Amino acid sequence: MILSFAKILAILKKEFIQLKRDRATAAMVIFIPLIQLLLFGYAINNDPKHLNTVVLSEDNSIFSRNFVVGLKNSEYFHVAGEIKSDAEGRKLLQKGDVQFVVTIPGNFSRDLIRRRVPSVLIEADAADPVTAAGAVGAAREILTSALARDLSGVLSFLRNDNLLPANVIIHKLYNPEGFTNYNVIPGLIGALLTLMGIMVTALSLTRERERGTMENMLAMPVKPMEVMLGKIIPHIIIGYIQAAIIVAAAKFLFTIPLAGSSFLLAIAMMMFIICNLALGLAVSTIAKNQMQSLQIAMFIFLPSLMLSGFMFPFYGMPSWAQMIGSCFPMTYFVRITRGIMLKGSNFSEMWQNFWALLLFMCIVTGIAAKLYKKTLD
């Protein structure tokens, strides 16, 4: 199939002229990101549970083992396994596979017996500060109750009602000050691109159908792929403008660091924008009018928002919700933006998410191309 560049360009130009004359939409493109940014800049409180945790235990004693059992039995932590080194823990945190690495130092039981008040170290992925904040309290509670049981009988002399026998120290990584908007704003890019991408494309195509101009366009010798490209390209550009607004606002308004490669971020955005535009195209082929396409767009947008890890920590959701969440490209995109903007992650640490996005992009584009009708039937 040979596509005509001139025809695509003609459609593209027409779209831009129409957008320019449609003041309301043009304003929406600029102001929605800004308004959302200010609204979402504040925390959404929640109560996370079963957060992935790995344990690095250098002290093999009854005390440390009981503490780990305590962690396992708790609702807050989900002990995914034990690791052997510090570096391994860092890597898991960086990739976002675990939220916490609990380290029990080698001298833990010795110091405990000598009443030196040993400490357990928790390294937390504080990109989501709400999650991290709860961890300290929960861990201290678990440690105290685990030791209380063990420090009985002949060891009861170690108990001191005024002083805890051991301490919990937390290291907040990636977002030491615990700003919630650190976590929200990178995710917001995903939310906005989803909303605008699906909605604007779906509307622009159903509008043509509703007004009858689609009939005119179909009567012209133009290939469906040319129409699709002509419709999609302007919105890729718009998507980038919106993303740029948010990234700029994040940097200058909320002083969020852009720790990783902005080039990698731009590539992820391209893939994600195409995913959403293709979704929008697919929606437009199903919807009979603009109202319907708006409703279907919302039907996709809301669960993306709720289940992608944007609103609630992904691994804190029940497994069925995680399963549904995995079906939305936004889930992977939010991980990528958080990884790049907050943790400075590189491609090798996030390739699974990129792979998932690529897969989505191909499948959704294929479906949209298949559903796109050449005739009025």
- Edge to edge, the sheet with strand 119-125 lists 77-82, 51-57, 100-104, 119-125, 167-173
Give whole-number Cα distances, 93 to 89, 185, 296, in Å: 6, 20, 36
| 154 lines the binding site for other proteins (CB under 8 A) | no
For position 2 contacting other proteins by CB under 8 A, the verdict is no
For residues 208 and 216, the answer to whether their CB atoms sit within 8 Å is: no
To the nearest whole angstrom, how small is the minimum distance from the Cβ of residue 217 to other proteins? 8
Nearer to other proteins, 4 or 160 (CB): 4
User: Applying CB under 8 A, does 289 fall inside the site for other proteins?
Assistant: no
Q: What angle do CA 240, 243, 247 make, to 5 degrees?
A: 135
Q: Is 217 in the site for other proteins (CB under 8 A)?
A: yes
- Report the distance separating Cα 100 and Cα 78, nearest Å: 10
Closest residue by Cα to residue 175 from 216, 127, 217: 127
Toward other proteins, which CB reaches closer, 218 or 369?
Answer: 218
Contact between 376 and other proteins (CB under 8 A)?
yes
Mask for 22-61, x = binds other proteins (CB under 8 A): x---------------------------------------
219 binds other proteins (CB under 8 A): yes
Token pair 């039907």 is at which residue? 299
Which of 37-45, 51-59, 169-177, 214-222 is the region at the interface with other proteins (rule: CB under 8 A)?
A: 214-222
Binding test (CB under 8 A) with other proteins, winner from 21, 85, 87, 320? 21
Q: Which of 24, 154, 163, 220: binder of other proteins (CB under 8 A)?
A: 220
CB atoms within 10 A of CB 102: 26
Footprint (CB under 8 A) of other proteins, residues 63-82: none
Q: Do the Cβ atoms of 301 and 195 come closer than 8 Å?
A: yes
1 counts as binding other proteins under rule CB under 8 A:
no
Partners of 81 in the β-ladder: 54
Question: Is there binding between residue 216 and other proteins (CB under 8 A)?
Answer: yes
Tell me which of 212, 263, 319, 320 binds other proteins, using CB under 8 A: 212
Cα 230 to Cα 223: distance, rounded to the nearest angstrom: 11
By DSSP bridging, strand 100-104 and strand 119-125 are: antiparallel
Select 1 or 87, whichever has its Cβ closest to other proteins: 1
Residues contributing to the site for other proteins (CB under 8 A): 4, 6-7, 9-10, 13-14, 17-18, 21-22, 211-213, 215-223, 375-377
